[in-house]
A = this chain, B = another copy of it.
């Protein structure tokens, strides 16, 4: 049992970008031997210097597990090459789309007993090996996409990888995975691009009125177009269906707006209410069971080191603070810090901070 639960060593990570380097760091941290390889050798060396493993070559005959962390388009080719180069290794990948690379491998007649795909649901606005983070996957969902030809030993090796990275394993059929990411990741990306693209036509004096809302809606559209073009293209079939459904919802909006202009606001209100209902279906931040978060707002007085003291008190209280927002710059005379805490501990948190001398508001 103990044997089958271990990650087969040494591990080779191919592609030392943010995700690959983070896998290397997490495995190294967990005590496993990791080698790194990248088409740009400097990336592998930077990742190695950050604790992601060794940039030295590895004996191909000894490799136990290969983790392919390259962009979607070259992915299937790199997986096929890895299966040839490392004749006894198990191979997985961490790509964002799962069906099409599998189809490409199957169409090429590759024996897939030693391969199974996976996808850690963890990202960052940062890119490249310098963004390596051993805790990137901590508590995050990591989807394992089994296929009929995968050997049980291959599946167990990837399960061990997920465990070593301290992620939460979720099993999904490749098609269901691609439907899910189309809806919760790719479609939102495209719609963010829809709004962001429209901003190219807005005069700058009008853009001066932009607030936090449009920034949030468009933020992910700032991602690398070359990478996203590959992701979207690899999942184009699923997305075509999703965009058709979105068109239907868009048509309903335009009809509702026409009616509202004519004094019939009921269908617009209902359309907006559906949106609010949708936001409430998104589960807890780390992909786990939905956790009720409650917001509280602490006044930051104009006193030396007020934020420093507050964080000390927060740490002393042992809080799990999900989300921290500073409403005004800390350099200003007074400000507010918004904290989201688990709803059930909020009364305790308010009591502890109030006792420590802070002015705490709860907005609802």
Contact = CB atoms under 8 A, between A and B. Distances in A.
Interface of A: 121-128, 130-131, 133-135, 138, 141, 143, 170, 172, 176-177, 179-181, 183-185, 187-202, 204-223, 225-226, 228-230, 232-233, 236-237, 239-240, 242-243, 245-247, 249-250, 253-254, 257-258, 260-261, 265, 268-269, 271-283, 285, 287, 295, 297, 304-305, 307-312, 314-315, 318-322, 324-332, 334-336, 361-363
B331 A269 contact: no
29 contacts: A123-B213, A135-B334, A141-B209, A184-B206, A185-B211, A188-B195, A188-B213, A188-B214, A188-B218, A191-B194, A191-B217, A194-B246, A200-B278, A208-B283, A208-B287, A209-B287, A211-B287, A218-B279, A222-B275, A222-B276, A225-B269, A233-B260, A305-B311, A305-B312, A308-B312, A308-B315, A311-B311, A320-B329, A324-B324
Nearest to A282: B210
Nearest to A176: B206
A287 B196 CA distance: 17
Nearest to A224: B276
Given A210-B184, A287-B209, A196 B320 contact: no
Nearest to A275: B193
A194 B246 CA distance: 7
Given A209-B141, A243-B257, A257-B243, A278 B199 contact: yes
B305 A363 contact: no
Given A194-B246, A305-B311, A311-B307, A202 B184 contact: yes
Report how many copies the assembly holds. 2
A246 B198 contact: yes
Contacts of A247: 250, 254
A265 B233 contact: yes
A188 to B, nearest CB: 4
A277 B200 contact: yes
Contacts of A194: 191, 246, 249-250, 253, 275
Chain A to chain B: the 8 pairs with minimum beta-carbon distance, closest first: A193-B275, A180-B206, A308-B312, A196-B278, A199-B278, A225-B272, A236-B261, A221-B275
Contacts of A226: 269
